[in-house]
Every structure is written in C-alpha cells, then in structure tokens.
C-alpha cells in the first residue's frame, strides 16, 4: 500500500539511533507531537492543555518535531519506544506498520513491537470532490473523467491508489490522470482542467471550502462493496463520515473512510500513569472536544479500538473496564 523513497527509507533506518530518552521529572509527561503549527502539534497541545488544567499531580509538555524527511508518525513512535516521550500521536497505518514490522518499518534496524495502543482520536478522511457538472456521483463514474490523484508518496496519493485498486481502476480508465500538488489541483479544478480530486486531510479544509463555494464542487461518497472489501483487509482503516453542513451546499453527511490518529505508549509505561492519563481525557471529553474543531465529533465508543492494531496498554484497559466500555 505504501511506497516510499530511498531517502525516507534511509532516514527511517537511522532514526532509532538518533532519538533517545531524556531525564524528565516523575511528575511530568511528554507527548510526541508534530511540527510546530501543524495539525498533529495542535492535537497534542489540546491533550496537554486538558491534562494541565485538570491534573495537579502531573504536568504535560509537548515534544515537537522539526521539519525533516521521516514522517511525523514514525518519529513519534520511535520517541515513545526510546523513552523520549511517554505518549505519541501516530496515524493508524503507521501504528500497524510498527507493530507488525511491515511496510516502510520493515527497513528499520530495531523493532517497534513494544508499542501499545491507548485510544484513538479523529480520522483523517479520504475525500473525493467532483465538479457538479461532471456527472460524478460514485466511484464508478470516474471512468473516462479527468482526475487528480496527487503527488507520489503523499498521503493523498497513497489513499487515491488504494481506492483505485479496490475499484479495479487503472490509468487507462481515465481521460486524464494528473499528479498535481494541493495548490495546483485547486487551480486546475476551478478552471475545469480536472473534474475530480482526491484529498486526505482534516475537515473543514480551506481548499475544499473554496472549491465548494466558488468552483462548483461537491463531495462524493466513498462507499460500496469494493470499499468494504478493502477495509476488511486493512484493520488500520476505519469508516467515517463528513458531517452535513461542513461545506457550502452540503445537506447530507458524506460517507468515506480514513486513518484514525491514535495515541500510543510503550509496554514499559507505568499502568498508573496511563490509567490517570486516560481517565483525565475521558472524564473531561466534553472539554477536549471544544479545544480543536477536528475533535468535535469524538465519542468514547469510537475512540476505543478504532484503527488500533497494537495491543491495548493495561492502564487503558483498566479504565475502560471500570467504565463498562470494554
């Protein structure tokens, strides 16, 4: 599913050697987040702010990442494995690769199978946007159309390739198959150079808002037997939807699938620390949902096990069983 450049492979192989633990005080926890100002960093900040407001015994800080070649999720997982972070945010597919030693992680020089699931946050939905005048109401309608699938190695391209493979679509099935960047595809869509585009990003999204308001765009369901079959074979993916009213003219929710953002820890993490972390988040979930627009739809049942392929940490299991959630 995931193709990756030789430069990134080399970075993955070296990252475990370059990232190590630190000497935090016993009453501090660190969350591995993303690059400052990015969406993963914002999610980590929301978690830390809640911990700091609601817990006197523990203080929370973020372990931000610098711009680099290694994907954020992978680096966060390495930081958790090496003890530099107590918890980390990672896409569910990277959690799966780490725990199974597959995909790009099979090139790493040390295993990541000591990682443990804590809970999941929101999903990053795979989104298909089409021009209203293109007659695209389902995936089958893409045949013969002009479509952008994104640049190689991007999350958008990975997602588009999965969808096309599941629906037995190949390059020859399209009138035009573009490989444009996000900014380029917005211009191409609005000028009718392409009739449909794929995205794999959090909603609401500025580009989607622009093309639905000003460029005759509409979101298309990604559902059906082919998608169901694909999801059954990839446990790190999960069904999700984009709520009605998210974009101009969107009167009903749009069904799709995505990769949940998961919170992970190490098998060596204290059961009591993980228990208190989970308890603080779930006991104050209504407050967390107000901290970031992407978290507004969180529900306890969907946060437990969705996209999580690593074993659940015993501290999390303890809390969920106490609450009758497991």
In this structure, are 129 and 186 located in the same domain? yes
Q: Does residue 228 sit in the same domain as residue 137?
A: yes
If one counts every other C-beta atom within 10 angstroms of the C-beta of residue 140, the result is: 11
Tell me, yes or no, whether 315 and 233 share the same domain: no
Confidence (pLDDT) at 15: 47
Q: Are residues 186 and 282 in the same domain?
A: no
Query: Domain check: are 90 and 11 in the same one?
Result: yes
Residues 94 and 68 in one domain: yes
Q: Are residues 102 and 195 in the same domain?
A: no
Where does a domain end: 258, 279, 312?
258
Q: Is residue 11 part of a domain?
A: yes
- Residue 1 belongs to a domain: no
For residue 91, give its domain range.
6-123+261-322
269 with 302, same domain: the answer is: yes
* Domain end (from 258, 282, 301): 258
Residue 173 to residues 147, 157, 165, 187, 223, Cα–Cα distance (Å): 10, 17, 12, 23, 19
- How many domains, the chain? 2
Query: Does residue 276 form part of some domain?
Result: yes
Q: For residue 84, give the CATH number of its domain.
A: 3.40.190.10
Residue whose tokens read 């090139």: 107
Residue 25's pLDDT is 56
According to DSSP H, which parts of the chain are helical?
6-18, 39-54, 72-82, 92-100, 155-166, 182-190, 206-214, 225-233, 271-283, 285-289, 300-303, 314-322
Q: How far apart are CA 249 and CA 118, in angstroms?
A: 37
Last residue of a domain, one of 206, 229, 258: 258
Is residue 35 domain-resident?
A: yes
| Mean per-residue pLDDT pooled into runs of 10, the chain (326 residues) | 44 44 66 84 92 85 75 89 94 90 79 91 92 95 95 84 92 94 93 95 89 96 93 88 92 93 95 95 94 85 86 96 93
């Amino acid at each position: 599913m995931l193709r990756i450049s030789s430069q990134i492979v080399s970075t993955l192989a070296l990252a475990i050697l370059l990232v190590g633990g630190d000497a935090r005080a016993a009453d501090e926890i660190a969350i591995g987040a993303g690059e400052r100002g990015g969406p993963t960093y914002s999610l980590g900040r929301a978690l830390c702010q809640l911990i700091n407001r609601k817990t006197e015994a523990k203080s929370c800080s973020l372990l931000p990442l610098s711009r680099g070649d290694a994907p954020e999720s992978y680096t966060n997982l390495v930081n958790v494995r090496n003890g530099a972070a107590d918890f980390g945010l990672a896409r569910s597919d990277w959690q799966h690769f780490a725990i199974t030693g597959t995909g790009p992680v099979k090139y790493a020089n040390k295993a990541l199978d000591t990682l443990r699931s804590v809970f999941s946050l929101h999903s990053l939905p795979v989104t298909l946007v089409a021009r209203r005048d293109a007659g695209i109401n389902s995936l089958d309608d893409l045949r013969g159309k002009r479509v952008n699938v994104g640049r190689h190695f991007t999350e958008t391209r990975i997602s588009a390739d999965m969808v096309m493979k599941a629906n037995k679509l190949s390059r020859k099935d399209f009138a035009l198959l573009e490989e444009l960047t996000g900014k380029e595809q917005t211009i191409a869509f609005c000028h009718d150079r392409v009739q449909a585009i794929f995205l794999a990003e959090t909603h609401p999204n500025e580009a989607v808002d622009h093309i639905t308001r000003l460029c005759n765009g509409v979101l298309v369901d990604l559902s059906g037997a082919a998608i169901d079959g694909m999801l059954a074979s990839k446990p790190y993916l999960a069904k999700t939807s984009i709520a009605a009213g998210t974009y101009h003219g969107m009167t009903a929710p749009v069904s799709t699938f995505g990769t949940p953002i998961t919170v992970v820890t190490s098998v060596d993490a204290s059961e009591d620390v993980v228990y208190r972390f989970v308890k603080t988040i779930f006991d104050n979930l209504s407050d967390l949902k107000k901290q970031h627009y992407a978290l507004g739809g969180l529900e306890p049942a969907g946060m437990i096990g969705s996209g999580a392929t690593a074993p659940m940490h015993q501290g999390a299991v303890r809390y969920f069983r106490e609450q009758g959630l497991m």
